[in-house]
A and B are shown apart, each in its own frame.
Chain A
Amino acid sequence: MHSSPFDLYHTGISPVHGLDARVKLVLALAFVLCVSLTPVGAWPVYLLLLAVTLSAAELAELGLGLVLRRSLLALPFALAALPLLVTLPGPTFASLRIGRFLISISGPGMERFVSIVFRSWLSVQMAILLTATTPLPDLLVAFGALRLPRLLVAILALMWRYLAVLIDEALRMMRARDARSGCVEGRGGGSLRWRASVTGAMAGSLFLRGFERSERIHSAMLSRGYDGTIRSLSRQPPDSRSWRLMVLGLAVLAGLLLLGYRLG
Chain B
Amino acid sequence: MTDRDCLAIQIEGLRFAYPDGQVALRDISLCVGPGEHVAIVGPNGAGKSTLMLHLNGILTGQQGVVRVGDVEVTAANLRLVRARVGIVFQNPDDQLFSPTVFDDVAYGPIYMGLSEPEVRERVSLALRQVDMESYAPRTSHHLSLGEKKRISVATVLAMDPQVLILDEPSAGLDPRARRKLIVLLQQLRQTMLVSTHDLRLVQELCSRTVVLDQGGIVADGLTSVLLADEQLLRAHGLEPI
Contacts and interface: CB of A to CB of B under 8 A. Distances in A.
Interface string B28-43: 0000000000000000
B234 interface: no
Contacts of B100: 137
Contact of A219 (B53, B98, B106): B53
B86 interface: yes
B97 A161 contact: yes
Interface stretch (A81-89, A176-184, A228-236): A228-236
A225 B108 contact: yes
B111 A224 contact: yes
Contacts of B85: 223
Contacts of A231: 110-111
A221 to B, nearest CB: 7
Nearest to B119: A233
Interface in B69-125: 79, 82-83, 85-87, 89, 91, 93-100, 103, 106-108, 110-112, 116, 119
State the majority secondary structure of interface residues on A. Answer: helix
Contacts of A160: 99
A128 interface: no
Q: Which of B97, B106, B110, B140 is most buried by chain A, counting CB atoms within 10 A of its CB?
A: B97
A2 interface: yes
A111 to B, nearest CB: 44
A195 to B, nearest CB: 30
Contacts, number: 81
Contact of B89 (A4, A157, A158, A219): A219
Of the four ranges (under 10, 10 to 19, 20 to 34, 35 or more), the interface on chain A belongs to 20 to 34
B111 A225 contact: yes
B156 interface: yes
Interface residues of B, number: 35
B147 to A, nearest CB: 12
Given A213-B94, A233-B116, A224 B106 contact: no
B170 to A, nearest CB: 19
A235 B119 CA distance: 13
Contacts of B200: none
A217 interface: yes
Given A165-B93, A217-B97, A220-B87, 15 more contacts: A4-B141, A157-B99, A161-B96, A162-B97, A219-B89, A222-B58, A223-B82, A224-B111, A224-B156, A225-B82, A225-B83, A225-B108, A226-B107, A233-B106, A233-B119
28 contacts: A2-B141, A137-B100, A158-B97, A161-B97, A161-B98, A161-B99, A161-B141, A164-B141, A213-B93, A213-B94, A216-B89, A217-B94, A219-B58, A220-B94, A223-B58, A223-B85, A223-B86, A224-B86, A224-B107, A224-B108, A224-B155, A224-B159, A225-B111, A225-B112, A225-B159, A227-B79, A231-B110, A232-B110
